[in-house]
Structure 1
Amino acid sequence: MVQENQSSPNELVDQNLFRQFLDRDFPELKNIKDFKLESVGGKGENYTTCLLRAKFELELNDGSHRSAAYMAKTLPLTRREQVSSWNVFDKEHTTYRDYVSDFEKMYKNAGKDVTFAPKYYPTNNKLEEELLILEDLGQRGFRNANRLAGLDLVHTKATLEKLAQFHAASAVRFELKGAYPAAFDRNICSNTDDFKEFREIQSKSFVEALPLYKSSHLKSDVESYASQAEDMFQAYAPRIEGEFSVLNHGDAWCNNFMFQYDEAGHLKETYFVDLQMCRYSSPAQDLLYFILSSTDIEFKIAKFDYLVKFYHEKLTENLQLLKYPKQLPSLRSLHQSIFNHADWIFPIVSILLPIVLLEGSDDSNMDTMMDNEGAGDKFRNNMFKNSRIIRHQKEILPWVFNRGTFEVRR
């Protein structure tokens, strides 16, 4: 049994932690008049971290008052040691500190203003456990889209364009500064496979729901495929000779993108959040993950090839802007990579998509999700048998099957 640290994140995050950031952001700061810490994110919106908003009321030297807020990201309330062992906090610090800042500078030097993520605040204090401090994007009007509805075409294209910009910069940086650290060869750097039983139970529930999706004929194919499929989140990225590779976001579903709007309600800006699982591999990973999990059912399959083409246009445009020194990846080679990395589709349709389309509840957490008895059975029943997932699977599974996704490699 995993021995858990029972300390509450609220006990680990106090106002003194933020003093260095407040002094930098408010040089005329006189006093902190009020400090409040509140949990962020509704039920079913986050499974592997705890998000806290630190809110301040400040008095400045001239007697005026200002409000300020920061986001604190800590280990979850349960399975803390397990999540800590995945090395995702170290990866996220590195991504914000070294890569996001580099990528933004690369665009600025090329004459283009591109911002990928909230402001990152590196702490000077030695901390007892994992903690990440970021700008509170809500103060600038950023918000998530409705994950149950899926992103419309405007939000989808904006997200794909931002992914293309991120990918392009990461590919150029690789050529300029060399390989990314070994931790970026995997999404989750676990030393043990903690999810084997979970994957087996999840796959069994998925197979049992196939009749609801008008896909009973896929039963034997899916069972055979699932029995030999590795955990893609823990798998090392394959190295395919000549394949174009980038730093993937790694967890590119709709809740990890935030959107800002102008006064007329038009989409103005798109930022990334949750950069814990970045992985250096083909952009096929992010494309499959994002399009299949997070877009409107009306076009995610009908316009799949169009969306890949749109992404490719933005990718090559930004590679050229940043003076990528190698041959530009062709659209055909990108489609081929999507076929080559089709192993991502199974965890998307059997784990990620059911979570995305499930309404939040008190049971929407990692403990329930990994439970193999009563509470877990009820949770999986809701995941695989609600009307939204049925509609999406009816659309996706024929397309998946016709692409040979569940063929077992001999």
Structure 2
Amino acid sequence: MLPTWLTKEYIQTHLRAYCKDDQLRVLKLWAKPATEKGGNYVGVMTRIYVDYEDGNGTVQNKSYILKQTCPEDATQAKLFQEYDVYNREMDMYELVMPKMAELLREIGITEKLTADAVVVDRERTILILEDLATLRYVNADRVKQLDLAHTKMTIELLARFHAAALVLNQRYPEVLRTNYSSHFFSRGKKGYKEIFTGLFRAFIRYVNTQPSLRDRYSAKLEHVAANVMEYAARSVDVGEKDLQTLIHGDCWTTNVMYQYDDRGNPVTVLPIDFQFSTWTSPVVDLHYLFSTSLREDVKEKETELVQHHYYALKQNLDKFSYKGVFPSLLEYQLQFESRRFMTVLIANLFQPIMVYEGTEEPEFVNLYQNTPEGVRFQDSMYACEKAKRIVEHILPVLDAKGLLDPQ
């Protein structure tokens, strides 16, 4: 199960450097898969277990998360290479996140910002990260989604992340100069066009099975399908007056982890998985989070949640004595609203996947390809009552805002 190169000698060398202990000696090394099939399409995650003796003679039992690229013969391999997600994430863990954590400590924010990188091996394109599960971090339930307490805590996390990135860019602009311009909807890249187009066809197929939805929305959705990537790209475009920073880019329940107190209340939150971190408007993270991860009663507070992020971001920047241009709350709300088309995609296409509880084969290609297996999986996404409620609720809202009309 372990790669042939991942020997006791290999991990011992890196643990000595990470622990700053030249006497550390690895005694035993083994592994288990870290995610179930379909749990991670971007790469392969393995939990590795290490027994070692430190320089004081104390035996330690530790686990770590090994992140590798997806196999070369996997359908999605070329796609993720096209978007350079692996180099980006290595940069994030090795260069960006430690700098951001250092900056946040300047203003008294000392809690962890993400998992420590024990190994960043660019030759093998792998990461070995500390295992947050051993620190009692867990994911919230992706099907039940986030209540208000989880949501506000996650928004405050994003505000710290966005503020630190703004200051990082002012002080160390070279760190963010490359590799943060591409995103899911990048013009000139082909990979995600096939995926989003396939997902949108599946969405229209479901709408056409519902007479009340078909008669009102089908023709409009056909027009959107023909322009979906361009409309989506405009949601990530930024102008001179837009607030711009580094965003997480894929912020939903699977990519944030929480610690809880004895009564089950969340007390700390960390982000993980930075393959799609992008330089754009911070409200893109808000749209993604709101459209994928919030309970229906929480999403109804959307305007107040944008306000919550705005003031948390402003407070952090004030602590930094940030001198850059910062929008008014009205301008910020308008910047959020101008990217509303993201909701068309994320709520209708991604959320049914994210709350999926069906039994069809969760292979990556089945998300979007028009094969018998793919169609079965796609149709089953809209079979659950929760997905049906999402569509029935969001379509009238999007139509009323004009987002299903030609843009």
Q: Supply the AA of the counterpart residue of 2:320.
A: L
Match of 2:353 in 1: 355
CA apart distance, 1:394: 2.3
Q: Supply the AA of the counterpart residue of 2:405.
A: E
Q: Name which of 9, 32, 40 aligns with 1:38.
A: 32
| 320-329 vs 77-86, greater mean Cα deviation | 77-86
CA apart distance, 1:52: 0.8
CA apart distance, 1:133: 1.7
Mapped to 2, the partners of 1:318 and 1:56 lie a distance apart of 39
Match of 2:66 in 1: 72
Q: Relative to structure 1, is the Cα distance of residues 338 and 60 closer, same or farther in structure 2, using a 3 angstrom cutoff?
A: closer
Match of 1:335 in 2: 333
Identity between Structure 1 and Structure 2 (%): 22
Q: Relative to structure 1, is the Cα distance of residues 64 and 319 closer, same or farther in structure 2, using a 3 angstrom cutoff?
A: closer
Match of 1:273 in 2: 272
Correspondences of 1:43-54 after superposition (within 5 Å): 43-54=37-48
Output one character per residue of 1:230-260: Cα deviation in whole Å (capped at 9) or x when no partner. Answer: 1688889423121111111001111000011
Mapped to 2, the partners of 1:126 and 1:303 lie a distance apart of 43
Match of 2:314 in 1: 316
The answer to whether structure 1 residue 171 and structure 2 residue 171 are counterparts is no
| 208-217 vs 342-351, greater mean Cα deviation | 208-217
Mapped to 2, the partners of 1:68 and 1:29 lie a distance apart of 17
Mapped to 2, the partners of 1:281 and 1:362 lie a distance apart of 36
List gaps (5 residues or longer) in structure 2.
none
Mapped to 1, the partners of 2:166 and 2:138 lie a distance apart of 29
Correspondences of 1:7-406 after superposition (within 5 Å): 10-11=3-4, 13-23=6-16, 24-25=18-19, 27=21, 31-60=25-54, 63-77=57-71, 78-79=74-75, 80-123=77-120, 127=123, 129-178=124-173, 180-187=176-183, 192-210=189-207, 212=210, 215-216=213-214, 217-230=216-229, 237-300=236-299, 302-359=300-357, 361=359, 363-406=361-404
Output one character per residue of 1:191-233: Cα deviation in whole Å (capped at 9) or x when no partner. Answer: 7413444333321221122254953312222211121121688
Mapped to 2, the partners of 1:317 and 1:119 lie a distance apart of 26
Mapped to 2, the partners of 1:279 and 1:177 lie a distance apart of 17
3-state DSSP of counterpart to 1:298: helix
CA apart distance, 1:17: 3.3
3-state DSSP of counterpart to 1:164: helix
Q: Relative to structure 1, is the Cα distance of residues 310 and 219 closer, same or farther in structure 2, using a 3 angstrom cutoff?
A: same
Q: Is the 8 A contact 1:175 1:325 kept in 2?
A: no
Q: Relative to structure 1, is the Cα distance of residues 407 and 181 closer, same or farther in structure 2, using a 3 angstrom cutoff?
A: farther
Q: Aligned pair count? A: 399
Mapped to 2, the partners of 1:236 and 1:152 lie a distance apart of 26
| 200-209 vs 182-191, greater mean Cα deviation | 182-191
| 170-179 vs 112-121, greater mean Cα deviation | 170-179
Mapped to 2, the partners of 1:402 and 1:138 lie a distance apart of 44
Q: Relative to structure 1, is the Cα distance of residues 30 and 325 closer, same or farther in structure 2, using a 3 angstrom cutoff?
A: closer
Q: Is the 8 A contact 1:214 1:394 kept in 2?
A: no
RMSD, aligned CA: 2.6
Q: Relative to structure 1, is the Cα distance of residues 263 and 130 closer, same or farther in structure 2, using a 3 angstrom cutoff?
A: same
Match of 1:3 in 2: none
Mapped to 2, the partners of 1:336 and 1:163 lie a distance apart of 19
CA apart distance, 1:108: 1.2
Mapped to 2, the partners of 1:201 and 1:139 lie a distance apart of 39
Q: Relative to structure 1, is the Cα distance of residues 391 and 237 closer, same or farther in structure 2, using a 3 angstrom cutoff?
A: closer
Output one character per residue of 1:326-373: Cα deviation in whole Å (capped at 9) or x when no partner. Answer: 243222112211222223223203431121011265721313224321
Q: Is the 8 A contact 2:347 2:390 kept in 1?
A: no
Output one character per residue of 1:374-394: Cα deviation in whole Å (capped at 9) or x when no partner. Answer: 110111011122212112222
Q: Is the 8 A contact 1:209 1:385 kept in 2?
A: no
List gaps (5 residues or longer) in structure 1.
1-7
| 159-168 vs 340-349, greater mean Cα deviation | 340-349
3-state DSSP of counterpart to 1:116: coil
| 167-176 vs 14-23, greater mean Cα deviation | 14-23
Q: Is the 8 A contact 1:89 1:132 kept in 2?
A: no
Mapped to 1, the partners of 2:247 and 2:363 lie a distance apart of 25
Q: Is the 8 A contact 1:262 1:268 kept in 2?
A: yes
Q: Supply the AA of the counterpart residue of 1:83.
A: F
Asked which structure has the greater RCO (Cα within 8 Å, sep 6+), the reply is: 1
Mapped to 2, the partners of 1:18 and 1:12 lie a distance apart of 10
| 183-192 vs 398-407, greater mean Cα deviation | 183-192
Mapped to 1, the partners of 2:361 and 2:98 lie a distance apart of 37
Mapped to 2, the partners of 1:113 and 1:295 lie a distance apart of 27
Q: Relative to structure 1, is the Cα distance of residues 223 and 361 closer, same or farther in structure 2, using a 3 angstrom cutoff?
A: same
Mapped to 1, the partners of 2:250 and 2:370 lie a distance apart of 25
CA apart distance, 1:263: 3.5
Mapped to 2, the partners of 1:84 and 1:233 lie a distance apart of 21
3-state DSSP of counterpart to 2:394: helix
